[in-house]
Structure 1
Amino acid sequence: MNSLNISIGNEIKRIRQERNWTQSELCRGICSQAEISKIENGRNSPTVDLLQQIAERLHIPVSAFFINEKQKINFQTIDQDLIQLMRLNQYPEMLQRIDQYLMEAVDNNVIILLRYHKLIVKETTKIIDYRTCITQLLNMTADENMIEESFLMYLRIQMSIAILYTNNGEYRHADAIYLSLLKDEYQTVEYKKIKFKIVYNYIRNLIKQKDFTEILKETEIAINESNHLRDLSYLGHFYYQRGYALEQLESPLKWIQESYTLAYGIFLATENTSYATILEDHLTDLMYFSLK
């Protein structure tokens, strides 16, 4: 069996199972179940047209089927290396490291990642102003192929642009970006988790604007979706944001206590100690219990 066929088949099967779809649900109107079974097992090589139809049914770019595992690991390694330098405020070292990586990079996703990091660190260190940074980031996402070939980087860059707008008081511009991103369909579990991050940042933007009624609506939706997926990544934050909005709207005390207490419990369960400590230090009176 061809190694490329096996790789493509494994990826189709992984995404299908991630959504709890049967083979018959995936292939309906496209091909036979037997054909899908052979493709998933690496025994058949799908045509470009068939791959396109499968990708459209799964709401993902065709390029997702060709992601090389070594390239993915290399991307993640470089990304984490630069993120760690950013956290340590080692900006000169970070710029030097980016230039070194760029000299060796051949993978387009890695090149986009490096250009992105370089713009962010240059804005952070005031080498360029935030408007110049936004313009150059927008130029990166203007490439028509980017959404198809590097959707995750496209989302990341768009969110960074929105955060730059928020950090500089241009909340409406940030809102427009978040709302545009939230219109997209996020079919896989991985993409849905990214959607939670977008919603979290959008709500933070609403907090800056004191739009507490809208915050309650958005947190309610986000909490329900997080519980449906059994995902705790942002659930504690959503309860915290909900509690804050209820507090500002002078809602009944029991509603506020319930939200903050649930946030606190989730932060403890997920070992998010920094946020749990904030609740212990400042909001004990608005929770049912505290371990401090």
Structure 2
Amino acid sequence: MNLTVGEKINDLRKRLNISQAGLANGVCSQSELSRIERDQHQPSYITLKGIADKLGVHITYFLADSDSEREDYLNEVWSQLEQARRDRDYVIIKEIVKLEQDNPLFQTQQARRHLMWHKAILQYHIDKDFKAAINTLKDCLSLSSFDRFSAEINIQVLCSLGIMFRLEGDLLEAKNYHEQAYDLINEITNLKDKRIIAKVRFNLAKVYTDLNELDKSLEVCKHGLAYCREQEDLFAFADFHYQIGHNLIKKGQTDKGIKYWEKAKFLFELQGKTQLAEIIEHDIETFQEHEWV
């Protein structure tokens, strides 16, 4: 008979003669651990890893017998990586990639490619090795297969290639990769991660602005705003407003552009992103002072 995650934790804890309070210390509350052991609460990736570390086993020890639990674990890892990317928390990304790269659960092509993508992010942002990061991303693309999951990773990888080339100042290469990603999101109708559509459009719009292809950028931004409204999702909504304002100001439509910046500032404040709102406020004040002079 296969044991549940909670039963395995309870069994190993008792065999090691560790109290609930002792195991929970520094990981979670004792009441949470009690609920986990009784299978009344699903532990997060971070909590389960903390429990595994204190019990001296790999986290997959608790998942060996159940397909659903393995699937839950994989989804939790992807969720943790997504949050770390948004927070630009490269320390967490590095920890997860190092922990999971030899994990048997991550040897499928899809999982390996997902980890390769994050390895490239680390190579660029931590190791400062642009060439190695680009090679890793291109290797990741070469392993692609013809299914929806591969297509989603392809879009993410193409975006990362575009972002890295843009940061390195190679705008034409950045444009090439972002346009490839843009073509893919228009071809695929059943993407699991809907926010990637807004992300692709915003990144392409920024490159068009950098290349002074302002009308193209405005067109992509307007499609992005329409998509955000359709999805009723504020993700990237403020960013599109800011980029539209940037384009309009570059086109000489100053008053209209600043109104878009003010909308972007309000939207960032609404989302609690006060630092971004302050940056926009500074941009508005700086630009207006320059204009008055």
Residue 202 of structure 2 contacts residue 220 of structure 2 at CA under 8 Å; is this kept in 1?
Answer: no
Instruction: Please tell me whether residue 266 in structure 1 is matched to residue 267 in structure 2.
Output: yes
Q: Which amino acid aligns with 2:281?
A: E
1:106 alignment counterpart: 105
Write the distance in 2 (CA, Å) between the matches of 1:179 and 1:197: 12
SS in 2 for 1:111: helix
Aligned to 2:214, which of 212, 219, 231? 212
Q: Which amino acid aligns with 1:198?
A: V
Aligned to 2:249, which of 247, 250, 254? 247
**Map 1:106-255 → 2, pairs under 5 A:** 106-107=105-106, 108=108, 109-126=110-127, 129-145=129-145, 147-184=147-184, 185-188=187-190, 190-251=192-253, 253=255, 255=256
Q: Give how far 1:187 is off.
A: 2.6
Residue 116 of structure 1 contacts residue 137 of structure 1 at CA under 8 Å; is this kept in 2?
Answer: yes
Write the distance in 2 (CA, Å) between the matches of 1:69 and 1:188: 25
Residues 258/143 of structure 1: CA separation in 2 closer, same or farther (3 Å cut): same
Residues 69/226 of structure 1: CA separation in 2 closer, same or farther (3 Å cut): farther
SS in 2 for 1:283: helix
Residues 147/272 of structure 1: CA separation in 2 closer, same or farther (3 Å cut): farther
TM-score (norm 2): 0.63
Residues 187/73 of structure 1: CA separation in 2 closer, same or farther (3 Å cut): farther
Write the distance in 1 (CA, Å) between the matches of 2:230 and 2:175: 26
SS in 1 for 2:234: coil
Deviation readout 1:34-69 (Å, 9 max, x if unpaired)? xxxxxxxxxxxxxxxxxxxxxxxxxxxxxxxxx967
- Worse overlay, 173-182 or 100-109: 100-109
Q: Give how far 1:190 is off.
A: 4.5
SS in 1 for 2:102: helix
Identity within the alignment, %: 16
TM-score (norm 1): 0.63
Q: Give how far 1:203 is off.
A: 1.6
Residue 137 of structure 2 contacts residue 157 of structure 2 at CA under 8 Å; is this kept in 1?
Answer: yes
**Map 1:37-116 → 2, pairs under 5 A:** 70-71=70-71, 73-77=73-77, 80=80, 84=84, 87-88=88-89, 90=91, 95=94, 97-107=96-106, 108=108, 109-116=110-117
Q: Which amino acid aligns with 2:252?
A: E
Write the distance in 1 (CA, Å) between the matches of 2:211 and 2:242: 17
SS in 1 for 2:105: coil
Q: Give how far 1:159 is off.
A: 1.0
Residue 82 of structure 1 contacts residue 94 of structure 1 at CA under 8 Å; is this kept in 2?
Answer: no
Write the distance in 2 (CA, Å) between the matches of 1:94 and 1:256: 37
Write the distance in 1 (CA, Å) between the matches of 2:159 and 2:241: 22
Q: Which amino acid aligns with 2:183?
A: K
Structure 2 residue ranges without an equivalent (≥5): 1-66, 289-293
2:12 alignment counterpart: none
Q: Give how far 1:242 is off.
A: 0.4
Q: Which amino acid aligns with 1:143?
A: L
Q: Which amino acid aligns with 1:103?
A: D
Write the distance in 2 (CA, Å) between the matches of 1:285 and 1:169: 25
Q: Which amino acid aligns with 2:267?
A: I
Q: Give how far 1:200 is off.
A: 0.9
1:49 alignment counterpart: none
Size of the aligned set, in residue pairs, is 217
Write the distance in 2 (CA, Å) between the matches of 1:136 and 1:203: 25
Structure 1 residue ranges without an equivalent (≥5): 1-66, 288-292
Residue 159 of structure 2 contacts residue 200 of structure 2 at CA under 8 Å; is this kept in 1?
Answer: yes
Q: Give how far 1:245 is off.
A: 0.9
Q: Which amino acid aligns with 2:163?
A: I
Residues 263/188 of structure 1: CA separation in 2 closer, same or farther (3 Å cut): farther
Residues 276/74 of structure 1: CA separation in 2 closer, same or farther (3 Å cut): same
2:278 alignment counterpart: 277
Q: Give how far 1:280 is off.
A: 2.5
